[in-house]
Structure 1
Amino acid sequence: MIGVTERAGVGALRWAGRAGLAALLAAGLTVQAVGIAASWGGGYWIFDVAVGAVAGTAAVCRHRSRTVAAAVGLAAATLAVPVALVAGLPREPSPTLALALAVLVGAAVRALPPRRATGVAAAGFAVAAGSWSAALVVAPGGTNLVLLDGVGFLAAVAGGLLLRLLDLRRRAVAEQVRRDERLALARELHDVVAHHVTGIVLHTQAARLVGADGERLDEALARIETAGADALTAMRRVLGLLRDDRDAGEADPMPVGVAQLRTLVGRFGAHGPAVRLVLPDAEPGWPAEVSSTVYRLVQEALTNVARHAVQPAEVVVRVTEDGPHLTVTVTDDGAPGRPRRRPGGYGLLGMRERIEALGGTLRAGPRPDAGWSVVATVPVPAGEPG
Structure 2
Amino acid sequence: MTDTRRPAGLLPDLGLAVVFVLGLAFTAVMLADSWGPRYAVLDATVGATACLLALLRRRARVRTAAAGLGVAAVAVAVAHLTGLPQEPGPVTALALAVLVGSVIRTRPVRTAAAVGGAGLLVIVGSLLASLDDRHGFSAVPVLATLCWLAAVAVGVALRLADAHGRATTERVRRDERLALARELHDVVAHHVTGIVVQAQAAQLVGAKRPEKLPEMLAGIELSGTDALTAMRRVVGLLRDADDAAPASPGPEQLTELVARFDRHGPPVRLRLPADGHGWPPASDLAWPPEVTTTVHRIVQEALTNVSRHAPHAASVTVTVDRNPEGVSVEVVDDAPPAPARVAHRGGYGLVGMRERVRTLGGTLTAGPRDGRGWSVRATLPLPGRTAR
Q: Partner residue of 2:106?
A: 111
Q: Deviations over 1:148-181 (max 9, x none)?
A: 3322220111101110111111111111111111
Q: Partner residue of 1:238?
A: 290
Residue type of the partner of 2:65? Answer: A
Mark the structure with the bigger radius of gyration: 1
Q: Contact 1:105–1:156 at 8 Å: present in 2 too?
A: yes
User: Cα distance 1:223–1:72, how it changes in 2: closer, same or farther (>3 A)?
Assistant: closer
Q: Partner residue of 1:172?
A: 167
- Residue 135, structure 1, aligned to residue 119, structure 2: no
| Correspondences of 1:7-18 after superposition (within 5 Å) | 9=6, 11=7, 14-18=9-13
Q: Partner residue of 2:372?
A: none
Residue type of the partner of 2:4? Answer: T
The CA distance in 2 between the partners of 1:234 and 1:106, in whole Å, is 55
Q: Deviations over 1:90-131 (max 9, x none)?
A: 125300010000000000100112221111111011111111
Q: What TM-score do the two structures reach when normalised by structure 1?
A: 0.56
| Correspondences of 1:256-271 after superposition (within 5 Å) | none
Q: Partner residue of 2:154?
A: 159
User: Cα distance 1:245–1:74, how it changes in 2: closer, same or farther (>3 A)?
Assistant: farther
The CA distance in 2 between the partners of 1:22 and 1:116, in whole Å, is 26
| Correspondences of 1:92-107 after superposition (within 5 Å) | 92-107=87-102
Q: Partner residue of 2:263?
A: none
- Give the CA deviation at 1:85: 1.3
Q: Contact 2:187–2:289 at 8 Å: present in 1 too?
A: no
- Residue 186, structure 1, aligned to residue 181, structure 2: yes
Q: SS state of the match for residue 132, structure 2? A: helix
| Correspondences of 1:188-267 after superposition (within 5 Å) | 188-214=183-209, 221=216, 228=223, 236-242=288-294, 246=298
- Greater shift, 118-127 or 139-148, is seen at 139-148
User: Cα distance 1:243–1:115, how it changes in 2: closer, same or farther (>3 A)?
Assistant: farther
Q: Partner residue of 1:301?
A: none
- Give the CA deviation at 1:247: 5.9
The CA distance in 2 between the partners of 1:246 and 1:132, in whole Å, is 59
Q: SS state of the match for residue 63, structure 1? A: coil
| Correspondences of 1:45-84 after superposition (within 5 Å) | 45-84=40-79
Q: SS state of the match for residue 211, structure 1? A: helix
The CA distance in 2 between the partners of 1:74 and 1:36, in whole Å, is 22
The CA distance in 1 between the partners of 2:162 and 2:39, in whole Å, is 43
- Give the CA deviation at 1:31: 1.2
Q: Contact 2:65–2:100 at 8 Å: present in 1 too?
A: yes
Q: State the aligned residue count.
A: 246
Which sections of structure 1, spanning at least 5 residues, go unmatched? 252-386
Q: Contact 1:77–1:127 at 8 Å: present in 2 too?
A: yes
User: Cα distance 1:146–1:250, how it changes in 2: closer, same or farther (>3 A)?
Assistant: closer
Q: What TM-score do the two structures reach when normalised by structure 2?
A: 0.56
The CA distance in 2 between the partners of 1:249 and 1:60, in whole Å, is 38
Which sections of structure 2, spanning at least 5 residues, go unmatched? 231-284, 304-388
The CA distance in 2 between the partners of 1:245 and 1:199, in whole Å, is 27
Q: Partner residue of 1:5?
A: 4
Q: Partner residue of 1:278?
A: none
| Structure ranking higher on relative contact order (CA contacts 8 Å, 6+ apart) | 2
Residue type of the partner of 1:41? Answer: G
Residue type of the partner of 2:288? Answer: R
